[in-house]
Amino acid sequence: MALLPSLAFAQLRWHSSDIHNQGLPAGAKVYETTDSLDGKPFRAFYLEVDLKDPQLELVTRVGNGKRYTPAQYDSIEGRSALAVVNTTFFSFATNGNLNIVMHEGKVLAVNPQGTVVNKRTVYATRGAFGINRRRQPDVAWVYNVGKKNRPYAYDKPVTPEIQGTDTVYHEPGKRGAHRWKMKEAVGGGPVLVQNGQPHITSMEERMGGSIREFHPRTAIGYTADRKVIILVIEGRNKGVAEGATFPQMAKIFTDIHCVEALNLDGGGSSALYVNHMNTIKPSDKEGQRPVPAVLVLRRKG
């Protein structure tokens, strides 16, 4: 019994996924693990992208009112495509993105703008990942301000004021924030890691569900030396891979030295397609789920 704590928190062992790495540029590498995670069967992959490699770039792609699978986005992108991963949460009814998407500095979709609860509008700042024009990555809590939906980033999630027995919700604005000048960006939530430490902000981002539920997962982070880490975790595959919780994901990112990390849409949406091949087995019985926005790693033309 004395060994259980050390086993429960042991680091995963990652090894190169040779089939996925074949032919990739030096700045992109895929790693995989089948180590058990806290005693449960587990399978995961991560793609490491060195932003200092001028041959590579990460760009967003959207379906413009339609949804496509990562394999279809890969086909649309053509020969320059190296990898495709799902990103935002979305509406099945409208095919619309429910989180921010930016491409070439333009806002293509916005983070949630407030929801009505008991006849009051409740606001939240939702997590997002971006890369600026100097190829520097960032994770922040972001809100789109004003009629032009300009993205502003906050050093901590905006929370309501408690005034006696009343709770006051203010729409986030420019105060306490700075313009989030990203070239490419995608949103999700919650934030998992800040300043190199687990920091899960599900409640502050007003996201439902338990942080300890096991699901297939997609997430993204980065290291201090500007390596982007795109993580996918297989789940709902009984006896093979049962998924992961947010605290487990946060530990995975800190173990591989990420300074910030963000959860993206998971479940049946989770898919990382590299070298025209799946990594994890998607949990939907139909295979890859069509999604309205992806992040594409490609050779810079």
pLDDT digits (tens, 9 = 90+) for 266-300: 999 999 999 999 999 999 999 999 999 999 999 99
Mean pLDDT value of segment 199-220: 95
Q: Which two tokens stand for residue 33?
A: 């693990």
Its sign, for the CA torsion 200, 205, 211, 215, is negative
pTM summary value: 0.95
pLDDT digits (tens, 9 = 90+) for 52-80: 999 999 999 999 999 999 999 999 999 99
d(CA 189, CA 125): 10
d(CA 218, CA 232): 5
pLDDT digits (tens, 9 = 90+) for 114-139: 888 888 899 999 999 999 999 999 99
- Do residues 265 and 233 lie in contact, with contact meaning Cβ atoms separated by under 8 Å? no
Of residues 171, 109, 173, the one with CA closest to residue 145: 173
